[in-house]
Chains A and B, each alone.
Chain A
Amino acid sequence: MELSSEDNNLTEKFLPPIEQESDVELETKVKKYLRGEGANLETLKDKKLKTQLASREKLYGKSAKTAAKIEKWLLPAEAGYLETDGLEKTWRVKQTDIANEVDLLSSRNQYDIVLPDFGPYKLDFTASGRHMIAGGRKGHLALVDMMSMNLIKEIQVKETVRDVAFLHNEQFFAAAQKKYAYIYGRDGTELHCLKERGPVARLRFLKNHFLLASVNKSGQLHYQDVTYGGMVASIRTGKGRTDVMEVNPYNGVVALGHSGGTVTMWKPTSQAPLVQMQCHPGPVSSVAFHPNGHLMATSGKERKLKIWDLRKFEEIQTIHGFHAKTLSFSQKGLLAAGTGSFVQILGDSSGSSSSHNYSRYMNHSMVKGYQIEKLMFRPYEDVIGIGHSMGWSSILIPGSGEPNFDSWVANPFETSKQRREKEVHLLLDKLPPETIMLDPSKIGAMKPSRRKEKPSRGEIEAEKEVAIEAAKSTELKKKTKGRNKPSKRTKKKKEMVENAKRTFPEQGHNNTASKKRRIGEDAAAELPASLKRFARKN
């Protein structure tokens, strides 16, 4: 306590006014690290629990504050940005202009690699952004160290390659080839042939679950656990063939785009889709997920690009006149869309995390005739990789990558020893496939009740009224002479109404009754003993 107060004093005393202003900034960061509000402890009756939770909350607060401070003061790098003044527009800035401004190291990231022979290239980066695998349609697979631009291994599989994907690190990668998908080692040796899947169209790897998800030509979705090789799930989507597939990095849900304009989301433990969304009237050409998992971008062949809020499943924004063959979100939330030989980068201009307004940020057009196949932002770098029909290219997009890497998560400068250590940790932390769900924060919470527990009071009242009305309006049978007296009839009717009332729980009355009783008791308790007998009985 003393310590923290001292700290506060220090900051108040010695920090210049600018720094004090930035306390607001710190506060927002603290909020981010607090992950939501604490519970309202005032409602708790258990004093012990209350104090324990209060001290826990205090610790959380401290932790968040420390984390925020670390982020503010200790994280070395700043995110890049593109600043224009006056009438200049960010999207007018060309790559050549950027090249003139940036340092030598960054300018090395602008290049075209021309490989005209082996067709449009698919790309995939490792989580750290250190390594890239490029798969040419005509069977050319190249594993490249992006830091040193060394070609680690290049193989020619001599058949169509439809997609490539890294597994948990650069040691393994999977390629969807003409008939089967294969897993290769870092040195290009074929380790496994995944025959069960059939001709695979798209491959994605779920890092936290160690699942290799793929969709094949007949629209079957397969999940295979790469740790032991078992097929965790094979799901028939029943929506025809598709080659639009993306994984939501937040929760591991796989989204498929279909020719009917629907996007379906899947998890391995259920045969039915979690969510089906009618996103476009025409076929869906690509899907991408924001790293925080709340935003999804889809583009349809009817030349529209839509951005969806996945918490409400509502459309946030529609961008017209743009049909993207490939979409990609960067770590910082920029959205890249590629069509033909043209790349457009959209940025979130609203600046707040709650509302989103994507607008043009940057453009890039390739040499005419190049057909863009795949766009992918390189993690932890302000770089986007473009796989196209004539090889692959890389351009600079300031402000796209996360400037500071967390070596717990991904380390671009990983040594082999660290990598091995990490691999073991990843395996130990592997999540079972059933943890894939729309809202993973619900894990560990109370089981959601299947039915609505209780109808609300108003509903009960309404129902009761209806029942009473019905009882009143029922026609009584005509009985024989003696039993048909009006008095008997009214009595009978009263009885019916009473019965109708009785079927509903008398919660309200019970409550008031008990309340009244309590008041009476209180009054009796207050009175002296001699007067108790005079207290009003209810």
Chain B
Amino acid sequence: MGEKRRSTSKTLGKNKRRKGPHLPNSILKTIANEKRPLNSDEEDDEIDSDDAIVDLYEYEEGVPEEESRKNNRYDPVVNYNYELPEDFEDENVESDDDDEGGNSDNEEGEGDDVVRHTRMLQAVTGMPSAAFDGESKRKPVLFTEAYPESEFNPTRDVLEGKGLLTIDELMAPIEGKPGFNELEKRISRMQKDAQAVVHAPLPKPERERLERKAVKGLVDKEFNKWVHMVKRNREAPTVYFNQNVSLGYSTVGAIASEFQPRTDFEKKMASVLNDNELGEAHDEDGAKLLELNEVSVEDQIKYRDHIAKMRSLLFRHELKSKRIKKIKSKTYHRLKGKDLKKSAMGALMDPEMAKEEAMKQEARRVEERMTLKHKNTGKWAKRMISRGLNVKYDGTRAAISEQLQINATLSRKMNSTNDGSSSDESDDEEELNDGSDQDTPSKLIAKAREKTLKTVEDDEVPNSGLLSLPFMARAMKKKNEEAIEGGKRALEEYEEWENSGGEENPKKTAVVSGRRVFGATAKVEAPKESRKDSDNFYDNSDSDNDTEGIENNDLGAVRDTASPARNTGAITETEKFDDDVENPASKTTFDVALFASGSWKKMKGCQNAETKKKLKKHVPYSKGQDKKESRDDESEDSESEAEEMVDGILTSASKETYEIPSQAELIQRAFAGDDVVDEFEKEKQEVLNQEVPEPEKPVLVPGWGQWTNIQKKRGLPSWMVREHEDAKKKRTLDLKTRKDARLRHVIISEKVDKKVEKLHTTTLPFPYTSKEVFEHSMRMPIGPEFNPATIVGSLNRPEVVKRAGVIIKPLKFEEANPNEKVDDEHPRSNQKQNPKKGGKTGKGQSKGKSKQKTKA
């Protein structure tokens, strides 16, 4: 029984899985039920219950033959390949032993080894077997030695140092040898002294572990002192470093007062400055100062000599220049002139030279353009480029680029007049465009003509600069002629356009061109003028709402009435223009243009005088027309109403007349609005379809998958149908989750605005982990506009407050109250600095401490 038990316990140790081989399920369940509460409840009972269960299991378990070792058919397997955990205490086994009365001697079977071993130990040590009991208890039968024990094969106990090796044991072999007694005596004396058994030292890793543990405890203690401070600093909204900092001197005077002369010069200066005699002299009067201000004779002589030398040098230079002037040698002057020519100044100063230079330059340019000498067309350059050496070597590249540069400078065109003129033209165009949106075509044409005339006219040749050079002048002349011709052609074209565009007055177009232009414009202007007058009844002394008339010039009647006025204008013009007929063509055209504008102004004046009377006649007509318009248009009718009011008919009656048509309109509106709700719903559906589009219906490509009748019958493949249905489901879900899903009368757009997305954060900013907390913390504005002035400072204080130049010293230990709350109102200094008195930081620290205490 005992043996069996031991063996089972061993197996238990070995195969941890510990499955009861063939227990019925019901029993297993009851076991489990029994076990669970006990496991969780008390530990004392645990063991017993475990025992019971172990018993149960043991009963069933069979022991494999090779493990039972009843017969030695199998090789003795050394079991120490399984090692129990370090802190393993097998209580079961212990309890087993207790049951058996703990007598290890009585153990039999394969326990024989143990018995033998203990006996041996007993014999060796002479200690009672109880001393080894513990050993056997702890590791009952784990070891079977493969070899007989000897000094070469020490037992495990000995190796691990657990066995107590006494000095007597060690002494045993040398007993009887000479000197043994002496040794024994000494040892016995030592034993008396120590009275203790010296244990073998622990193995190294264990020892080190223990050491580390001890050290950790100490370090923990040391570091835990800092925890509060660190915590306080971490959690403080602001850390201050700027208190009690005196940066030394306050004024310049303070700095100067501590000045000590060090160098020789400084010392000299100091001796002079601090001279008592000088000071006294200053204090008393200036006479003594003069005495002190003596100049030595040597200095005076030196000064005189210097001046004389300078004068003689000047004189010599003068002589030399005179001599040079007298030289008549041609070669000399030629060389000199060459020098002068070379300098750019000379070129600028002399017009002749400049001309020459320009010619030369032009020739060089032509040559360059012809030969392309510097465009890397040479043998060398080609070779370099083809081999890619220009990329490889800096020098080569530089050379090639230099050549190109030379080419560019040589072949650069001279400042041509073309640029200027083209820019002018573009400007003109811009001007034209500006006006164009409210101008009629005829007006446009007139304007264009005016412009061309102007450009044709001013063909002045500049008198200075590059343009004045003869070849330039020639070229310009040529160009001007061309331009003038072009201009003339353009003018003719304008005329043609006008003839085709203006339907009225075809006979007048046959006469001088200028006249016709203004006839046309007058046509446009006149009705407008009259119309405006009829509208407003204001003094039209300088009204500039020209465009209004154009909009309304479809009123035929008005135009008719205005036509006499226009005719008069035209007549006056013809008279004026007739005077200018004799003049040459181009000149006249220009003059006409100029003149015409003046005459137009005049005409306007006279026309005003004339038309004012006539206007009265056609006013009612136009008003009536306005009224007609008003029926169609809501705001227009209000305008007409306003007109009525101006006429002084502001009565309730007039209002009535206004409301009668509007009532009809109201009725119309009422009927029109019948299906407003339906329309809205339709619109909503549209918006929904747009924002949450309906999934496309699955379609097969015709001809695909339809070879046979069966395929055709089967219809769409199932995955297509499934996908379609999923998409549909998704859509309905999306529609349901919309904000306006339950509001029939509202459409809320859920389009994503990309610009708005920039105003949101895509990720939570660092310390935050939840969206809610972040958004709640963002709800309060912290600016001065939204908070009382007393709080703004603390709301916006930076994390670290530190004056420039303050040195941040490492944290110093101070007693901190762990329960202290961080209070932002009383800024706590993290350090007291006093750079001047380095030794007194401790004092500052203590001050801080006391302050802290009072605060807490």
A217–B679 Cα gap in the complex (Å)?
23
Within 8 A of B (CB), among A239-274: 243, 259-262, 269-270, 272-274
**Contact status A442-B43, CB under 8 Å:** no
Q: How far is the CB of B564 from chain A (nearest CB, A)?
A: 26
**Contact status B46-A531, CB under 8 Å:** yes
Stretch at the interface among A33-41, A95-103, A166-174, A489-497: A33-41
Within 8 A of B (CB), among A267-325: 269-270, 272-279, 281-283, 301, 313-314
Residue numbers in B under 8 Å from A437 (CB-CB): 753, 756
Q: Determine if B680 is an interface residue (Cβ-Cβ < 8 Å).
A: yes
A59–B745 Cα gap in the complex (Å)?
44
**Contact status B761-A447, CB under 8 Å:** yes
Residue numbers in A under 8 Å from B787 (CB-CB): 63, 67
A71–B286 Cα gap in the complex (Å)?
74
A536–B547 Cα gap in the complex (Å)?
98
Residue numbers in B under 8 Å from A201 (CB-CB): 635
**Contact status B650-A389, CB under 8 Å:** yes
**Contact status B237-A55, CB under 8 Å:** yes
Within 8 A of A (CB), among B703-732: none
Q: How far is the CB of B560 from chain A (nearest CB, A)?
A: 25
Q: Determine if B571 is an interface residue (Cβ-Cβ < 8 Å).
A: no
Residue numbers in B under 8 Å from A272 (CB-CB): 687, 749, 751
Q: Determine if B779 is an interface residue (Cβ-Cβ < 8 Å).
A: yes
As a 0/1 sequence over residues 785 to 823 of chain B, the CB contacts with chain A under 8 angstroms (1 = contact) are 101101100110000000000000000000000000111
Q: Determine if B825 is an interface residue (Cβ-Cβ < 8 Å).
A: yes
Known: A275-B749, A434-B753, A445-B761. A243 touches B770 (CB 8 A): no
Within 8 A of A (CB), among B1-23: 16, 18
Residue numbers in B under 8 Å from A59 (CB-CB): 791, 794-795, 824
The range of chain B's interface size is: 35 or more
**Contact status B755-A369, CB under 8 Å:** no
**Contact status B769-A369, CB under 8 Å:** no
Q: Determine if A60 is an interface residue (Cβ-Cβ < 8 Å).
A: yes
**Contact status B89-A44, CB under 8 Å:** no
Q: Determine if A234 is an interface residue (Cβ-Cβ < 8 Å).
A: no
Q: Determine if B50 is an interface residue (Cβ-Cβ < 8 Å).
A: yes
**Contact status A52-B235, CB under 8 Å:** yes
**Contact status B761-A275, CB under 8 Å:** no
Within 8 A of B (CB), among A16-67: 34-41, 43-49, 51-53, 55-56, 59-60, 62-63, 66-67
Interface centre among B88, B635, B747, B758 (most CB of A within 10 A): B747
A48–B233 Cα gap in the complex (Å)?
10
**Contact status B745-A66, CB under 8 Å:** no
Q: Determine if B778 is an interface residue (Cβ-Cβ < 8 Å).
A: yes
Q: Determine if A162 is an interface residue (Cβ-Cβ < 8 Å).
A: yes
In the complex, what residue of chain B is closest to A53 when comparing beta carbons? B777
Within 8 A of B (CB), among A112-162: 116-117, 119, 137-138, 156, 158-160, 162
Q: How far is the CB of A341 from chain B (nearest CB, A)?
A: 10
Within 8 A of A (CB), among B618-651: 635, 638-639, 642, 645-646, 650-651
Stretch at the interface among A396-404, A416-424, A521-529: A521-529
A446–B764 Cα gap in the complex (Å)?
7
Other-chain residue from A45, A55, A60 in contact with B824 (beta carbon distance below 8 A) = A55
Q: Determine if A1 is an interface residue (Cβ-Cβ < 8 Å).
A: yes
In the complex, what residue of chain B is closest to A459 when comparing beta carbons? B733
Q: Determine if A452 is an interface residue (Cβ-Cβ < 8 Å).
A: yes
Q: Determine if B740 is an interface residue (Cβ-Cβ < 8 Å).
A: yes
**Contact status A39-B773, CB under 8 Å:** yes
Q: Determine if B771 is an interface residue (Cβ-Cβ < 8 Å).
A: yes
In the complex, what residue of chain A is closest to B238 when comparing beta carbons? A55
Q: Determine if A87 is an interface residue (Cβ-Cβ < 8 Å).
A: no
Q: Determine if B108 is an interface residue (Cβ-Cβ < 8 Å).
A: no
Residue numbers in B under 8 Å from A41 (CB-CB): 773
Q: Determine if A81 is an interface residue (Cβ-Cβ < 8 Å).
A: no
Known: A274-B749, A446-B774. A36 touches B669 (CB 8 A): no
Other-chain residue from B237, B652, B776, B794 in contact with A37 (beta carbon distance below 8 A) = B776
**Contact status B635-A269, CB under 8 Å:** no
Stretch at the interface among B62-70, B264-272, B291-299, B670-678: B670-678
Other-chain residue from A48, A269, A275, A443 in contact with B753 (beta carbon distance below 8 A) = A269
Interfacial residues, chain A to chain B (CB-CB below 8 A) = 1, 3, 34-41, 43-49, 51-53, 55-56, 59-60, 62-63, 66-67, 70, 116-117, 119, 137-138, 156, 158-160, 162, 178-179, 195, 201, 217, 243, 259-262, 269-270, 272-279, 281-283, 301, 313-314, 368-369, 371, 389-390, 408, 434-435, 437, 441-448, 450, 452, 523, 526-531, 533-536
Closest 9 CB pairs of A and B: A39-B776, A447-B760, A434-B755, A51-B235, A278-B745, A39-B773, A63-B791, A66-B788, A276-B747
A sample of 22 cross-chain residue pairs with beta-carbon separation below 8 angstroms, ordered by A number, consists of A36-B779, A38-B776, A51-B235, A55-B822, A60-B780, A63-B788, A66-B790, A158-B538, A158-B543, A179-B547, A179-B551, A195-B437, A260-B679, A269-B756, A273-B747, A273-B749, A282-B676, A301-B666, A368-B652, A390-B650, A523-B39, A530-B90
Interfacial residues, chain B to chain A (CB-CB below 8 A) = 16, 18, 32, 35-36, 39-40, 43, 46, 50, 85, 87-92, 234-235, 237, 437, 536, 538, 543, 545, 547-548, 551, 635, 638-639, 642, 645-646, 650-652, 655, 666, 669-670, 673, 676-677, 679-680, 683-684, 687, 733, 737, 740, 743, 745-749, 751-753, 755-762, 764, 767-780, 785, 787-788, 790-791, 794-795, 821-825
